[in-house]
A and B are shown apart, each in its own frame.
Chain A
Amino acid sequence: MTDKSVMVAENVFKELGSGAGKVIALKGVSLALAPGELTLLMGPSGSGKTTLLSILGCILQPTSGTISVAGTSTAGLSPEELAALRRNHIGFIFQSYNLFPTLNALENVRIALDVRGQKGYAAARRSEDVLRQVGLGGRLLNYPSNLSGGEQQRVAVARAIVSEPSIVLADEPTAALDSENGHAVMELLARIAREQNRSVLAVTHDPRTLGYADRVVKIEDGLIVGEDRRPRGLDAPEITDLTKRRKAHA
């Protein structure tokens, strides 16, 4: 955790369900995201990755523990205040892209500005520029149904960054993509982190993504069990398994 962290989670617990069906999804997670870094959050199914992402994204509130986004604590915030925090600081990329089927690529990006009150020609121009940045300058007026999976995910990336958020959260961004498109999207996320100095956190199962990461965080059973800081360009990262290390120390 550093002074320049844009998002900080401290000792976060999250209980889901109630009664006999109650599950503790997160058991004291602490994590800080710094600008200029692409962080991968990896772990098996049911490990709490998506729950953590939802909490970091101010979509769910933790049962206990604190979340701070750009210096603002989420504790006690109403759903509308949490939405404002997302609006002002966080961009989302979803596994299934979640594009609006009735809007074309340009409109799908513009809507992210529209919810922030940025309208008119300037918003259209900005959306067009960002779509060109992600390589879709020639597909502005195409509807999602006329775009490939890779193109749709690039539209989703453009939508996530068009409002220049300090944090971009991606949920399995390559899961629905073939190898070529998966690499293209990861390269884009790495560039967004490094060239635009944003903090990017991607939840993933995909080992192909490791080569793009500045940092890999491993989560299991609701606990962060390992973390690896990687020199840029290293393709075969070795993740330090904190569980194993703790066992070894014992």
Chain B
Amino acid sequence: MTVIDMKNDMMTIEDFEERAMAYGADLDAWPEEDRAPARTLLAGSAVARRAMDDARALDEALALWDGPAPSQALMSRVLTDAATVAGEAPVAASAPALRTGAGWLARVFGNRPMLRPGLALAACLALGFVMGTTLEEQVMVPVDTGMSVDAGMIDFAFALEDDADLLLGPGSLL
């Protein structure tokens, strides 16, 4: 054994008592580097053995306190939370569809960048058609025409709003 080895193996009784108090009587729970010198001290010191008896008594007292097992009700609550959070995720993930533009058109015609100018043109034509037909109705039926125009515009606005809600999810309303 070298001098360095002998130094590493040394442990004062105060150090031993401190470790025993901190880590208890199970040497496997002590820091690895302290185990061998602790065994050496235990073999030759009555004081060390008394310190170990003290630590063991405390370990045994602590062992009286078992933790409770989770109830099925708690398990269910936790798993319900997980399902709720998982259910929120796809809605949030779909939000970028609107940010890329024409989300509802993309859902109808497919999300193909090459077709986007065409889709935009189609949307303009459709909007023009709706406006043209409702204005025509207004001209043809002069009495109470305001109602028919307003109703048409409101329906159109709701259609857009519904679409936006679907794409953005509840968080978009905040």
Asked if A and B are interacting partners, one says no
Which A residues fall within an 8 A CB radius of B?
none
Interface positions of B (Cβ within 8 A of A):
none
